[in-house]
A = this chain, B = another copy of it.
């Protein structure tokens, strides 16, 4: 396949990069939701100064430490309720900027199932991430912006 007809030529990113992002997201969310949920490891998938913004809400304090505390409280709250929580990401688009950072756009679907209960779809979101590489070359989220579907605008 010539460059002109390759994914890159059509404004897409190469397969290695695209599948790296897919694998990054699968691993990241599994760190919240699998049997091996680990809020500390999840927080380390963000930069030290990361921002986690939700449209329509005040921007929360930045930084990995704040993220870790927030998500640990969330994981404990979910566990106390006996819920199995799942986040699915789909329809992922990836753009590489001249400075080698990545901008991604994806849909996220949040679902939860109580012990012995039916699955409930909590809602969907349109998400944008800014991804950078850490010193060891791994992807890290520098900014995540969520916009919940159905939000009053």
Contact = CB atoms under 8 A, between A and B. Distances in A.
Contacts of A34: 105, 126
The number of times this chain is found in the oligomer is 3
A6 B105 CA distance: 21
23 contacts: A1-B17, A4-B136, A5-B133, A5-B137, A6-B137, A7-B17, A10-B136, A10-B139, A15-B19, A18-B22, A22-B92, A26-B105, A26-B106, A34-B105, A84-B150, A88-B90, A88-B91, A113-B150, A114-B150, A119-B121, A119-B122, A119-B124, A119-B150
A150 B29 contact: no
Contacts of A139: 10
Contacts of A113: 123-124, 149-150
Interface string A42-56: 000000000000000
Contacts of A138: 10
Interface string A105-149: 111010101111111011110100000010011110000000001
